Structure 1
Amino acid sequence: MDNSFWALVGLILFFVIIFYVRGPQKVGKTLDDRAVRIRQEIEEARELKEEAKQQLAEYQRRRREAEVEAQDILAAAKREAALMLEDAQRRNEEYITRRTAMAEAKIAQAETDAIAEVRASAVDLAVEAAAKILAERQAAEGGRFINESIAAVRKNLN
């Protein structure tokens, strides 16, 4: 009885014990359970992939909506800026018109004041000249006639 015989006996006993404790059934059951678990994980991964695709589509839709909204806001801001610029130009033109009208009115008033001043000076000079002339002519008649004449000239010239 050599070692090969005892190795064969040990091997046969090993197989008998494995069949007795139902080893192949347990291995098969373990492999089947593992296959079921792998199928479940694959199905769960597919569901997660679909959910991720849906979320991606939703985020892309939101991004497009946000871009459209940003463009609308930008367009509205440009329109508002243009309106503000037009309003500022209109107000500037009105301001210039008012200032021009005020300057023209001041010039006209100064012109009127200058004419009135020249007339007043002319009247005063005329009165003085008339008084001098009358004084020379009527030196003998007295001061009454001169005073009456000066008053009449002042009344007529003013």
Structure 2
Amino acid sequence: MRKPIIALSVLAALAATPAAAAGDVFFSLNNTDFIVLLAFVLFIAVLLYFNVPTLLGKMLDKRAEGIQSELDEARTIREEAQSLLASYERKQREVQDQADRIVAQAREDARAAADDAKRDLDRSIERRLQAAEDQIASAEASAVDEVRNRAIDVAVAAAREVVSREISDAKRAELIDQSIETVNQRLN
């Protein structure tokens, strides 16, 4: 099958030369066109004999397979990178959501703690005001009792003086009896 191809290529090359058209002798070793044609045909024959086109085709196919495998590997790596990126973005969103929830919870806890502290402060102020009012009331009652006791002491001393100067012993005994009876009525 190779031989007819070579023969046809030689005949086509001979028929297409300008020397054949001009009618000059083409088959001479002095004709450079003929020598170049012979070298070219011989080169093509050697290439076909050693099956170089098939080897070149295999090498190109192998190179194409290598490129295709690299493309497939690159596509796989790209898909893995995209899925990894999506996973990291999802995790980032989850972490951001969690951080937002933590911040919101912290704000809510701080608000609740501030409200509790305010209520505790209000209660403490109320207790202190009540204690101060109780102390004031106690001091007022103590002052009133002291003034009353002092007034009683002064009245008793004054009455004693008046009584000792103007009242006789019989009248004194009668007043003492009345006072004892009044105290007994009030105590009961």
The equivalent residue for 2:144 is 115
Separation of aligned partners in 1, 2:57 and 2:36: 27
Identity of aligned residues (%): 38
The equivalent residue for 1:72 is 101
- Output the TM-score relative to the length of structure 1: 0.73
- Could you list the per-position Cα deviations for residues 15-48 of structure 1 after superposition, in whole angstroms to 9, with x for gaps in the alignment? 2332333321221111111111122122212222
User: Unpaired runs of 5+ in structure 1?
Assistant: 139-144, 146-151
Cα root mean square deviation, aligned = 3.0
Separation of aligned partners in 2, 1:72 and 1:16: 81
Q: Which amino acid aligns with 1:2?
A: N
Separation of aligned partners in 2, 1:106 and 1:4: 137
Separation of aligned partners in 1, 2:159 and 2:78: 119
1:103 aligned to 2:139?
A: no
Q: Provide the aligned length of Structure 1 versus Structure 2.
A: 146
Worse-superposed segment, 15-24 or 97-106: 15-24
- Could you list the per-position Cα deviations for residues 22-75 of structure 1 after superposition, in whole angstroms to 9, with x for gaps in the alignment? 321221111111111122122212222322232233223223322332332233
1:41 aligned to 2:70?
A: yes
Structure with higher RCO (Cα < 8 A, 6+ apart): 1
Cα offset, 1:127, TM superposition: 4.2
User: Unpaired runs of 5+ in structure 2?
Assistant: 1-29, 170-175, 181-188
The equivalent residue for 2:115 is 86
- Output the TM-score relative to the length of structure 2: 0.63
The equivalent residue for 2:87 is 58
